[in-house]
Amino acid sequence: MSNTSIPLTPVRARDGVCIPLQDGTPATFVAFDGFGRHAEHFAVGIQGTAPNAVPLVRLHSECITGDLFGSQRCDCGAQLQEALARLKIEGGWLLYLRQEGRGIGLFSKLAAYQLQDQGLDTYAANRALELPEDGRDYLPAAQMLKALQCTRIRLLSNNPDKAEQLEHEGITVLERLTTGTFKTEHNESYLKTKVAHAGHLLQDL
Ligand SMILES: [Zn+2]
C-alpha cells in the first residue's frame, strides 16, 4: 500500500495519438507529463460500439511475459485481451501502468519465478528476495484519470484494493465489474494464492 498522506502531484495529459489496434479498432494513446522520466504510464482510449454513459476503466499493470508473449504462468495476457474486448463495446480507458512484476521489475520477477519453481508461492518468493510482496501503486492511475477529466468511472477489476485507492484519491467508482477467471495448468496455484493472500475475488477457481 502506498503512502496516501502526500497530496498527489497533478499530471498533464498530452494530445492523444490514434493507433489502430490489431483488428482495426481505432484507439487513442495518451502520454502524460509529470510522472518523471522513468514512469511512462499511458492511457489507451477506446470509443466503443455501444458506449456506456460512464466510462469503463481497467488498470493494467505491465507484464511483458504475459502481455506480449502470452505466458501461462499468470493471467495478465488474458486479462488484457478481455479488457480490450469489453472496451471495444462499452468504451472507456485502459490505463497501462509501467510496474512490471507487481512493481519489482522484470529481472526480479524472473528471479522470483525461479524460487517459485523450487516451491515458494508468489508472495513468499518476493519476500525471499527481500522485495515487497506487492509493490504496485495505483495512485498514478488516479492522477491519469483526473488529467483525462474522467473522475466518475465503472471499474473493471477483481481487486477491491484498486477501487479503494481510487476512491481515496477522489475518483468515484460507480460500479465495480468483475473480470473472468483465466485458469491454466500453469497458473492455478498463482491464482489461488492471489485469492487467499491478497483478497482477490475470483470465481470458479
Ligand atoms: Zn503476468
Choosing from 136, 152, 161, 204, which is the catalytic residue?
A: 136
Residue 125 within any structural domain of the chain: no
- 3 found inside a domain: no
- Cα-based distances in Å from 136 to 102, 117, 125, 139: 5, 23, 16, 9
In b/e form, how buried is each residue of 141-162, taking b as 16+ CB within 10 angstroms? Answer: bbbbbbbbebeebbbbbbbeeb
Global pTM value: 0.87
CATH number at residue 189: 3.40.50.10990
Position 205 scores a pLDDT of 60
Give catalytic status of residue 137 as yes or no: no
Q: Are strands 42-46 and 92-97 parallel, antiparallel or unpaired?
A: antiparallel
The confidence score (pLDDT) of residue 8 equals 67
Tell me if 6 is assigned to some domain. no
Cα 67 to ligand 1 centre (Å)? 7
- 39 is a domain residue: yes
Q: Does 161 participate in catalysis according to the annotation?
A: no
Does residue 4 fall inside a structural domain?
no
Q: Is the pLDDT of residue 142 over 70?
A: yes
Domain range spanning residue 17? 12-99+136-198
196: pLDDT strictly greater than 90: no
Least Cα distance to 180 among 155, 205, 162, 161 occurs for: 205
CA distances from 143 to 24, 64, 77, 81, 202 (A): 29, 23, 25, 24, 28
Q: Which of 134, 154, 176, 204 is catalytic?
A: 134
* Res. 2 pLDDT band, cuts 50 70 90: very low
119 in a domain, yes or no? no
Q: What is the mean pLDDT of residues 51-78?
A: 95
Query: Does the structure show a pLDDT above 70 at 96?
Result: yes
The rounded Å distance from CA 30 to ligand 1 centre is 23
Contacts of 149 (CB under 8 A, 6+ apart): none
Give distance in angstroms: CA of 18 to centre of ligand 1: 26
Is residue 2 in some structural domain? no
More confident residue, 56 or 190: 56
Give residue-wise pLDDT tens across range 99-137: 998 888 999 999 999 999 999 988 899 999 999 888 888
Residue 7 lies in a domain: no
Distance in Å, CA 138 to ligand 1 centroid: 17
Residue 198 has pLDDT above 70, yes or no: no
User: 137: CA distance to ligand 1 center in Å?
Assistant: 16
Q: Considering only residues 28 and 201, tell me which one the structure prediction assigns the higher pLDDT.
A: 28
Cell numbers for 197, please give them. 493472500
What's the chain's Rg over C-alpha atoms? 17
Report the domain count for the chain. Answer: 1
What is the pLDDT averaged over residues 78-85? Answer: 96
